[in-house]
Amino acid sequence: MVFSSRIRSLSCQVAGCDRPAVARGMCKSHYNRWQYSGSAVPKRRERLCSCCGNAFEVKRSSQQFCSDVCRLRYFRRRKREPWLAEHPHTPLHELPVEPVAEATSVPAEVFSERDVWKASGGICHVCGEPASRDVYSRDVGAPSWLVPPKLGGSRTLSNSVIVHYRCLGRQG
């Protein structure tokens, strides 16, 4: 993880998180989750309880029952009825991650590419070297998101930076 002194003063760009940003506009926990799983927000999974049949959101993949009451009820019933499975298994289903209501109610900030260049001072966010607006230059830069909106980032000027085209592959 690369720590940037300019980013520490900002807060995490993932909707609903107010911890300080340390890399790519995300706090340490969201950045690590994004680095290892490809998503800054955790997946939601559900399964049917092996005892009562109600759907519940699992905390870990080995969780088979919605509560301790159902777990004990199932294992007591299994003692009386030996044909029941010793370790019942029901499939996991992934639920869509719902965006935080706060993120949907906040309108996107209106800004131009010129505003992004002015806010960043023409410095590449990844390597810290000056970027050029000249299309034919080796050091040409382009606006980029610290945290892309599809990963939960906001569409604001504080989430926009200038990055060299050559540094786009090194970003992250």
Domains of the chain by residue range: 44-95, 106-170
Task: Annotate 71-112 with three-state secondary structure.
Answer: HHHHHHHHHHCCCCCCCCCCCCEEECCCCCHHHHHCCCCCCC
pLDDT at residue 4 is higher than 60 = no
CA dihedral 11, 128, 24, 117 (to 10 degrees): 70
CA 10 to chain centre: 17
What is the band of 171 on the pLDDT scale with cuts at 50, 70, 90?
Answer: low
Hey, what are 149's tokens?
């909106």
Q: Do 151 and 28 meet the contact criterion of CB atoms below 8 Å apart?
A: no
What would the pLDDT profile of 23-51 be if each residue is shown by its tens digit?
888 889 989 988 988 888 878 889 998 88
Which of these, 13, 11, 3, lies nearest to 156 by C-alpha position?
13
Q: What SS3 class is residue 119?
A: helix
What percent of the chain stands above pLDDT 70?
85
Predicted TM-score of the model (pTM): 0.44
Which of these, 14, 38, 41, lies nearest to 25 by C-alpha position?
14
What integer pLDDT is reported at residue 119 of this predicted model?
A: 92
CA 141 to chain centre: 26
Q: What SS3 class is residue 23?
A: strand
Q: Which residues contact 18 (CB under 8 A, 6 or more apart)?
A: 11, 12
What would the pLDDT profile of 95-130 be if each residue is shown by its tens digit?
776 655 444 444 567 888 889 999 999 899 888 899
